[in-house]
Structure 1
Amino acid sequence: MRFRTSDVSRVESTWKQFVPSAVLHDVDPERFRFDWHSADLGGVSLVRYDLAAEVRSTAEPLDQVLVCRVDGPDARVYSDRGDLDASRPWISDGPRVHARWDAGARVAALVFDRDTLSRLARRISGDDDLSIRVEDLSPRSAYAAAAWDRMFAYLEQSAAPLGDTTDDLELLRSELARHAAATTLAAFATTSRLERHRPAQTTAAPATVRRALDFIAENSHRPITVDDVAAAVHISTRGLQYAFRRALDTTPTESLRRARLDGAHRDLQSGAPSTVAAVARRWGFSHPSRFAAAYRDSFGVLPSVTAATHRR
């Protein structure tokens, strides 16, 4: 979604769709200008806006994890605990964070549903008992803050085609959400809380592995995760990883990645009119150069060579 407006009420109502607690205070309507861009990654919202106005704002996320960067010449960001570094992103899963500026600012934010971030963290770590809680509002380091900024710029560029809601882009949406979660969890200090889940399987399960491989083969074109594979064969994610490692000396993640590379290979061999980039996105590969490298490692040639050889 993209739009520009000078209507203060529209700005606040739009922002409240993503952070219901957000409030704008003391906005000067004479100087007001608002340029908004947002994208839905499925449980994760990407928001970027430029707001030219004298602004006093407050956010207190509820059932959400908000990661935000306010970039302005006179921007000040602070919580009830004290000032935050306005040159770096900050994170909150409940504590109030206030921002103020007089000359205008650009705001970049990721808004995670709390359950979505915990689910993605479990998928990334393989720990079925992981639940995320924020330990510190500030990033771990200047390097971590810069990494988060680079990730956000990449997401904003990659999310551009997501206005098209075709099934081909659902896999890309899912992978972008995973990338957002992984970088955010690396950039900020969080603690895990143990919750009661199904116990991990501790014995080999060849039949379970075969069923999991069948499920992957039949659904790799969809935005499924390793959690989905585990649920489909009635085993915990950790148990599935253990079973794959013992039976096949690989991981469910690698098997899913291989199935998607095979799908992209079949599409390129089909000769159907499509670009390599479109095929990569269809199979969940958001970074063209990484897709090309993985494809070459698997099939010995670049995807562009396969496409050219089989072009109708």
Structure 2
Amino acid sequence: MTGLLSSTPQLIEHATASRPDYVLEGRNGDIFGARWNHPAGESQLRRNAEHVLVYHLSGNTDVERLQQGVVTGFRSRVGTVTFMPRDSESDWRLGGNTQVIHLYLRQTLLDDFARDVLEREACPEIEDFFAISDTWLDGFFRMLASEAPPSAASGNRLETLVLDQVQSLLVSHLVTRYARERPPNGERAPMSGGKASQLRQSVLKKINALIHERLHEDISLKDLAELACISKDHFLRAFRDTVGQTPYHYLLSQRLERAKMLLREEPGVPVAEVARRCGFKNLSHFSATFRRMTGVSPKGYRN
């Protein structure tokens, strides 16, 4: 490893003498997560650059955390979650191999949420917690673990819309549930569901037009939110309330519909070209997604 230890994954790699199984990257190359298989032993983490959310995926549960020489956490069960604020300092002892997923959250993400949703300049501080059980976070990380490895293993980066959704949903949950200074009910009102937050039909038409025009491109949550003239966080909630799906799952359904049409009506077009025209990262990603969503392979569907 060369250069300054400026990123949180680098700091963790240096402290634990291990490397991540894979990293999760956005289209711009920024690392926002990683899966680790930490061996038994002791390590020191000093002033990580971002906030770190740790999900205990599998393996050893004999995990001990010390802060300033005092044990502040012991026994991390599979499925529990730990939050380490940026710039925090802690010592760790692992009794055996431990598999975890990390998500790295920049402070700017939290502050953007505070300005857009809470109408504050800075986000309330998130409490430091160790090995808590949270049904929502458990489901969130299970989804991420099932979705991320195929693309990560092949070296491909997650789409901007997927990353935007992941971060928006996660920050919203953390601030709502674990901020030291909980926002009053009135400040959380814009995030609540209900008909008042639904998108107008005229806005939906614009969104549909943009999606179909740029189906083969990388679309961001910001691109869609600007059509509705609202923040990304408000748009994500309003779109789900209106359509019944997240923006990415709706985009994915539209890509699959176009793929089906091309497979039926243009039998001479190679499957790899169909994948490219419909915005899938590569042929393997397209084939795996198509089979998962339809029950058959693209070639099987065409035949």
TM superposition score category, shorter chain reference = 0.5 to 0.7
Q: 1:89 to 1:219 in 2, by over 3 A?
A: same
Residues 1:58 and 2:45 aligned together:
yes
Amino acid at match of 1:18: T
Task: Specify the alignment match of 1:265 in structure 2.
Answer: 257
**What RMSD in Å do the two structures reach over aligned CA positions?**
5.2
* Match 2:280 to one of 276, 279, 282: 282
State the TM-score, normalizing by the size of structure 2. 0.59
Q: Does the CA contact (< 8 Å) of 2:32 and 2:103 recur in 1?
A: yes
Task: Specify the alignment match of 2:21 in structure 1.
Answer: 37
Q: SS state of the match for residue 61, structure 1?
A: coil
1:1-312 matches, cutoff 5 A: 10=1, 16-19=6-9, 34-42=18-26, 45-52=32-39, 54-62=41-49, 64-68=50-54, 72=60, 75-79=63-67, 83-87=72-76, 88-94=80-86, 96-101=88-93, 105-106=97-98, 108=100, 109-116=102-109, 127=117, 129=119, 131=123, 133-138=125-130, 140-141=132-133, 143=135, 146-147=138-139, 150-151=142-143, 153-164=145-156, 170-171=158-159, 174-175=161-162, 178-179=165-166, 182=169, 186=173, 189-191=177-179, 208-232=203-227, 234-237=229-232, 250-251=242-243, 257-271=249-263, 272-274=269-271, 282=280, 288=289, 292=293, 302=294, 304=296, 308-311=300-303
In the TM superposition, what is the alpha-carbon distance from 1:90 to its structure 2 partner? Answer: 1.0
State the TM-score, normalizing by the size of structure 1. 0.58
Q: 1:178 to 1:49 in 2, by over 3 A?
A: same
Distance 1:38 1:89 in 2: 19
Q: 1:56 to 1:254 in 2, by over 3 A?
A: closer
Q: SS state of the match for residue 78, structure 1?
A: strand
**Cα offsets for 1:204-253 (capped at 9, x unmatched):** 976655434322332344343443212256444577689989xxx93496
Gaps of 5+ in 1: 1-9, 28-32, 293-301
Distance 2:62 2:249 in 1: 46
In the TM superposition, what is the alpha-carbon distance from 1:96 to its structure 2 partner? Answer: 1.8
Distance 1:50 1:241 in 2: 33
Q: SS state of the match for residue 217, structure 2?
A: coil
Q: 1:135 to 1:305 in 2, by over 3 A?
A: same
Amino acid at match of 1:304: V
Gaps of 5+ in 2: 264-268
In the TM superposition, what is the alpha-carbon distance from 1:137 to its structure 2 partner? Answer: 1.6
Distance 1:241 1:164 in 2: 25
Q: 1:85 to 1:14 in 2, by over 3 A?
A: farther
Distance 1:143 1:158 in 2: 25
- Calculate percent identity across the aligned residue pairs: 14
Query: Bigger shift: 179-188 or 102-111?
Result: 179-188
Higher percent of residues as strand: 1
